[in-house]
Structure 1
Amino acid sequence: MEHTGQNSPPGNHTTLVEFILLGFSDVPNLQGFLFAIFLILYLIILMGNSLIIMITKVDPSLQTPMYFFLGNFSFSEICYVSVTLPRLLTDICRKSGNISFLACAIQMYFFVTLGANECLILTAMAYDRYVAICNPLHFPVIMNTRLCIQLAAASWTTAIPIHIGFTSLVFSLPFCGSNQLNHFFCDVPPIVQLACGDTLMIDMLIYVIAALLVAIPFLLILGSYVKIISTIMKLPSATGRAKSFSTCSFHRMSATLFFGSGIIVYFRPKSTHSSGMDKFLSIFYTTVTPIFNPIIYCPRNKDVMVALGKFLKKWIVL
């Protein structure tokens, strides 16, 4: 591995060509257990979200904006976890976390881009619930097919150019010290921590991008739910209030889980960062949150359960 110590004199630096992901190497006796756990979680995420995608595509009763966005969100979840978990499983198997400079940059780019995509899709879903509850008479006109496609396309493409530039800047930093990342994938904070020299511009850029793609969507979702709750509380019927609350409870849980852990990681002051805590929170929003998507939307959603029953019955008959 070509790198020099952190205190190497200027001019004696060599080019860093790879990082070493330490992952969970600090618990060597648990490697087999961790592999089994992460493999099971990955398979559950793949199967659960794939099932949601299929039933929202084939069942006529689920051809609505809410389930259109849910299908997009499920596909994004599959892509999102596939950026990190297969690599982690491979590293555990081969007992080595060596990752090339380029592969690390690519992994980080797709991770942050897909993460931003999920934030924007959740925002589109919140807007859908806002229109459905606060402006129900105009819902079919406002949430038409064209607008749904435009919102989904914007969610998938908005972060692409931003994170191409951001990833290029991060990996153009000088890395002249240790090449060991105390993490299980190439996330932004641990990579920036390894850079030598002044990282103030990158630190500020992290906050700006996080504000644009995380904080602002979160505030828009929060604002929409203030309006939604205000509208629901004005309904005269208790049954009507309960039904309206139930239509947005699934989205509310998904948004809280995803944004909560992400905001803690990316908006904490740099001085409070600890590799152990960052690793724990990363497990939460890269693995735990995606597994909650099918759990939240399937067993607790009557429409989805009916559609799932019809879908499974059709395949069993075949």
Structure 2
Amino acid sequence: MTSPRHDPVLLDRVVALLHPALSRADAVLVDATLGLGGHTEAVLTRCELARVVGIDRDPEALRLAGERLAGFGDRFEGVHAVYDEIPEVLADLGLDQVDAVLFDLGVSSMQLDVRERGFAYAEDAALDMRMDQGSGRTAADVLNIYSAAELARVLREYGEERFARRIAAAVVRERADRPFTTSRQLVDLLYREIPAPARRTGGHPAKRTFQALRMEVNDELAVLRRALPAAIDAISVGGRVVVESYHSLEDRVVKRTFAAATRSDVPDDLPVVEAERAPALRLVTRGAERADEDEIRLNPRAASVRLRAIERVRPDRSRTFSNRADKGVA
């Protein structure tokens, strides 16, 4: 098996955004996407009063991160869960609130770098793409079971692939004789179906399809839409939610959720806003922050990152933000 590595993106900036919320004794960070623990290691090193609850749906990531972070003792606790289960995780740990929540979205370095996981189109491997290999449908299952219309929807919505219908029809034709099992088979089909002029722009021709399949297999956008309001509800006054996203669809969900959380519900022309009706949260970042050229040169995966942060400035009203989000506010 190939060995994973982990190069956290915007590490210094992420820790700087989290630090004000983690500067008191027994402060708690939920690292909702633990991966190999690079962000958590930096937080535990630089925020010496804090402890971290690390969540990951991938048991292998939890094992490797646990080994890496063992020297921090009981300041770190790993939990096998999906990050939209934050309320249940905190309840199990007896925590009413936490001081910060971090999301580093998308596929982890470990999953990309381990060929056998099937996430990378540059390597021939079984088409798995599950972040938790112990449950759920694989990418091969999606290719072999979904109708042409369903496949086209996935490729169009999650991959923004303009040849979605053409690719989906080709998949259905090919699987009738030879079901899809490996990434090489899918990459070969994509090279045949995507016209040569389109293959010469926009990166590898398989990039969009592999991204779409991964997001479908792991239900990533639906999980994110549930997780963000839960994280916002979980933070105490002075607490922060920090999110790194790498795809326009993810960033759109983050942007809209943060905008809803910081929006006042009083008329714009009201001359004075009573304190109890002011938003309970504020944006910490102005728009989305990006990696600079130096970091992108050292770590190409930083090129697409969008970093946003939000902070609770006062207790919320009795109705939780997640309830408002369920009603379509977010």
TM-score by length of 1: 0.30
More helix by share: 1
Q: Which has the higher contact order (CA 8 A, sep 6+)?
A: 1
More strand by share: 2
TM-score by length of 2: 0.29
